[in-house]
Amino acid sequence: MEKRILIVPIGEIETELLDWLKVKLEEKFLRKVEILSEMKGVDYTYNPKRNQYYSTAILKRLAKIERNKEDFILGIIDKDLYVPELNFVFGEADVINKVAIIGLSRLREEFYGLSPNRNIFLERVLKEAVHEIGHLYGFGHCLNPNCVMFFSNSLSDTDRKSSNFCSKHKIRE
């Protein structure tokens, strides 16, 4: 059975971004990557007090998608995400159910009142996607600030690290 990464756009996500990420993830993980149809109806995860979406609740919904047991799911939403203990998260993973999510909002320069920069945005999307999929491989956070598994407390942490795994976190299949 072929192990796949299934990308699930949550709400409207630009096709060009999904296609680009598909190619990058196939190169990085040497797995087939498929883009599934758009998932809608996650408004119940919205917290109006925080103006954010509760990522853990979305992960539970992603976990219900039928697939082969070896498949990973990566949800992509163009919203700001949170978990109760933190002000925000760029993404979250559920290792047991093999599902992860990344939020695009905070990866955009415009979120911080800056001019859009497509290259920086794409680089951040790739790093966060690889990071969350790394968790699905069972990797924890890394102390090496250049490793993609380094915990990003801020966008500068994400910008500083690479999209690659350090020698401690090389994927062996």
User: Which residues carry out catalysis?
Assistant: 132
Angle between helices 15-29 and 118-136 (to 10 degrees): 50
* Cα distances (angstroms) measured from residue 82 to each of 37, 91, 112: 24, 8, 17
- Provide the β-strand partners of residue 31: none
**Distances 45 to 10, 96, 120, 145, 146 between C-alpha atoms, Å:** 12, 21, 28, 32, 33
Tokens coding 82:
């949170």
Query: Using the 8-state DSSP alphabet, how is residue 19 labeled?
Result: H
Mark 20-51 as b/e (b = at least 16 C-beta within 10 Å): ebbebbeebbebebebeeebeebeebeeeeee
